């Protein structure tokens, strides 16, 4: 049966496809409404991605209880063609459960400041609905220097409540002298990894009397010849923070330090952004994802019309010059590490069970894809079967595990270890390190 608000809901989902939040308000029984949304979320998660049929359409589909109101959150990126189907699934689930109330986009509190999306630099911040009497997030210390001749355009708190964020904007010129004001306030500055300033920002850590965070200076890009040019200063503050290992003198000029790459860059970023126990896993994920992307280019390369070999044999031959740098033990460790993370994604509900990889352990407990191993004999040279198995594990699994940690570089504060440690369940640090080193070895020379 058509719903009177259905067209408007479809428009909302299409326009917010990567950040849908649909709530049921004024339901007689919010628990029943939440269960109906859960049923809809389960059905939505079964929709196959049009480009990757072994993957589900949404990156994220979850129902949360937010102050007694059930809210369905959905990220389906740019697949707006599914907006009408998504809405119809939700409405049908609510109708089947006899839910009253009203389905509508989650109501947002009125911002106590002028919002500017260009100031939303961090992915783990939720907007604040009110500020204190100073016009600041309440966690900022007394006397904190507020930029002069500037407009507050962002105020938020991290989801775990450990940090707060404020950003100011002005059009009259850069925030010259603001770093000096922070130093006069008693702040000690620390360096930020160079890969995190490669976009032209000026960024430092801050510390003062056991608290601290970071400060970032940057300039907006003009969207057209008629659009205004803005300068921004962004500050993150936590009530508890560690002082920098080495204090530095701040400079308002752009960071010109050499830009590291490969393992060195990943290590620097991982140690800065994550708790120590997550560093080996993050490094392994970065190496696996990088190797998977490189191997995917080999898989998708145009075939030679004169090559009559079956596709698995042809792919194995393309992998051989690259993965042939690894010995059998390294191939096994890379495959097992990657597939263990994929299995953990499935176990956590982050991926459907039908991912196109039938994962089983061998006699030594190392995971392999049984469907690949069963089809390879007689088609692929025996010595290339381990190469094919490991290569396809990286191609298929690399993007999955990388997506699980995609939010880390956008975090304003270090996430708690339990937010990501589940991804590495069943893997020892030594295994993660061995897989990391083997993957980076692929790129030698």
DSSP secondary structure, 201-264, as one string = -EEEEEEETTEEEEEEEEEPPPSSTTSPP-EEEEEEEESS-PPPSSB----SSPP-S----HHH
| Other residues' Cβ atoms within 10 Å of the Cβ of residue 197 | 20
CB 112 within 8 A of CB 93: no
Phi, psi at residue 383, to the nearest 5°?
-70, -20
Phi, psi at residue 252, to the nearest 5°?
-80, -5
What is the token pair recorded at 141? 């210390």
What is the token pair recorded at 16? 């917010």
| CA dist., res. 179 & res. 183, Å (int) | 6
What is the token pair recorded at 110? 């009125």
Sign of CA dihedral 178, 179, 180, 186: positive
What is the token pair recorded at 118? 């260009």
What is the token pair recorded at 392? 């396809």
What the chain holds in terms of domains, given with CATH numbers, is 6-105 (3.30.70), 117-257 (no CATH), 273-441 (no CATH)
Sequential pLDDT tens for the chain (445 residues): 457 789 999 999 998 888 899 999 999 999 999 999 999 999 998 898 887 776 778 888 889 888 899 999 998 877 889 999 999 999 999 999 999 999 999 987 666 778 888 888 888 888 888 899 899 999 999 999 999 999 999 999 998 889 999 999 999 999 999 999 999 999 999 999 999 999 899 999 999 999 999 999 999 865 555 567 899 999 999 999 999 999 999 999 989 999 999 999 999 999 999 999 999 999 999 999 999 999 999 988 887 888 778 888 899 999 999 999 999 999 999 999 999 999 999 888 877 776 667 889 999 999 998 888 888 888 889 999 999 999 999 999 999 999 899 889 888 999 999 999 999 999 999 999 999 999 999 887 6
């Amino acid at each position: 049966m058509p719903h009177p608000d259905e067209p408007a809901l479809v428009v909302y989902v299409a326009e917010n496809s990567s950040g849908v939040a649909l709530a049921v308000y004024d339901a007689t029984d919010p628990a029943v409404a939440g269960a109906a949304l859960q049923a809809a979320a389960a059905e939505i998660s079964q929709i196959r991605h049009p480009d990757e049929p072994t993957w589900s359409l949404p990156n994220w589909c979850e129902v949360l209880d937010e102050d007694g109101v059930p809210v369905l959150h959905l990220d389906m990126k740019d697949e707006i063609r599914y907006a009408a189907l998504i809405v119809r699934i939700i409405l049908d689930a609510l109708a089947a459960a006899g839910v009253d109330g009203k389905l509508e986009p989650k109501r947002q509190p009125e911002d106590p400041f002028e919002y500017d999306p260009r100031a939303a630099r961090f992915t783990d911040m939720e907007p604040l609905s009110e500020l204190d009497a100073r016009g600041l997030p309440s966690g900022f210390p007394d006397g904190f220097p507020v930029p002069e001749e500037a407009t507050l355009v962002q105020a938020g708190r991290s989801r775990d409540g450990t940090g707060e964020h404020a950003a100011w904007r002005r059009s009259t010129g850069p925030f010259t002298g603001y770093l000096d004001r922070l130093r006069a306030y008693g702040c000690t500055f620390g360096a930020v990894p160079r890969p995190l300033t490669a976009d032209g920002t000026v960024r430092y850590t801050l510390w003062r009397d056991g608290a601290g965070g970071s400060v970032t200076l940057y300039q907006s890009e003009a969207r057209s010849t008629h659009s205004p040019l803005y300068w921004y200063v962004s500050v993150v503050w936590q009530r508890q923070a560690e002082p920098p290992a080495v204090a530095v003198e701040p400079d308002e000029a752009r960071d010109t330090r050499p830009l590291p790459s490969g393992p060195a860059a990943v290590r620097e970023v991982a140690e800065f952004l994550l708790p120590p126990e997550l560093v080996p896993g993050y490094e392994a994920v970065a190496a696996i994802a990088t190797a998977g992307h490189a191997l995917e280019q080999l898989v998708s390369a145009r075939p030679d019309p004169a090559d009559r070999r079956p596709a698995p044999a042809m792919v194995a031959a393309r992998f051989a010059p690259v993965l042939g740098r690894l010995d059998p033990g390294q191939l096994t460790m890379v495959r097992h590490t990657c597939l263990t993370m994929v299995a953990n994604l499935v176990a956590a509900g982050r991926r459907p069970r039908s991912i196109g990889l039938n994962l089983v352990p061998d006699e030594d407990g190392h995971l392999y894809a049984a469907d690949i191993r069963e089809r390879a004999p007689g088609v692929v040279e025996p010595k290339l079967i381990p190469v094919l198995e490991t290569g396809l594990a990286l191609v298929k699994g690399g993007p999955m595990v990388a997506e699980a940690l995609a939010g880390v570089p956008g975090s304003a504060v270090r996430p708690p270890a339990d937010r990501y440690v589940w991804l590495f369940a069943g893997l020892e640090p030594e295994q993660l390190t061995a897989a990391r080193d083997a993957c980076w070895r692929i790129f030698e020379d």
